[in-house]
Structure 1
């Protein structure tokens, strides 16, 4: 193999490795963003359910998480606030998770 061909092969390998790494980074960032969005929407929906005295706000949170491509890992109601943790599949990377809390502000509480 000539020096020029080896050089082209080395550059091609390096470029391919860099593109693959950036692709994985992009996959992880997108999954984290999806998890954060699903967590926010789930906590807001659950807090809204608490505000109208729904008996099971965490079921609402789980439904919203599922509709947003996530899985509800944890849901906890603390007085008027709801805290949720969701997870989104980020294959081939580990799953991305996010937490969110929603509820009325101090001046809006009954």
Structure 2
């Protein structure tokens, strides 16, 4: 009888560990997706600000990142392109980051 109980206990422990691992993996994937979305939106907002000559592109990018629960880590303007790097908190995994670049296509340069 004790062998059967030990087997059930071992199986339950293994399944608990697997579920916990999958939960952490899912949280990491979700946080990475949030970071990528925030980076894309921040770079697009900055590039739009640059094209319209309405404000500092990096300030606008930072505001867009903040609205998407991310923080702007770096922002650089290269010609008509805006390059950003953002991070989102992914507790308990730490911070997840993403980069993005936005600007007009080659045929759309002013």
TM-score (norm 2): 0.98
For residues 39-98 of structure 1, give each alpha carbon's deviation from its aligned partner in whole angstroms, at most 9, with x where no partner exists: 000000000000011231111100110110100000001110000000010110021000
| Alpha-carbon distance between aligned partners in 1 of 2:88 and 2:55, rounded to the nearest angstrom | 27
Deviates more, 1:55-64 or 1:14-23: 55-64
Where in structure 1 do 4 or more consecutive aligned residues deviate above 3 Å?
Answer: none
| Alpha-carbon distance between aligned partners in 2 of 1:25 and 1:8, rounded to the nearest angstrom | 26
Q: Which runs of 5+ in 1 are unaligned?
A: none
SS at match of 1:91: coil
Aligned length: 110
SS at match of 2:69: coil
Q: Which residue of structure 1 lines up, in the alignment, with residue 82 of structure 2? A: 82
SS at match of 2:14: helix
- Once the two structures are superposed, the pairs formed by residues 51-66 of structure 1 within 5 Å of their partners are 51-66=51-66
| Alpha-carbon distance between aligned partners in 1 of 2:38 and 2:55, rounded to the nearest angstrom | 22
Q: Which residue of structure 2 lines up, in the alignment, with residue 43 of structure 1? A: 43
Give yes or no for the alignment of 1:30 onto 2:30: yes
TM-score (norm 1): 0.98
| Alpha-carbon distance between aligned partners in 2 of 1:63 and 1:45, rounded to the nearest angstrom | 9
Q: Which runs of 5+ in 2 are unaligned?
A: none
For residues 22-44 of structure 1, give each alpha carbon's deviation from its aligned partner in whole angstroms, at most 9, with x where no partner exists: 00000000000000000000000
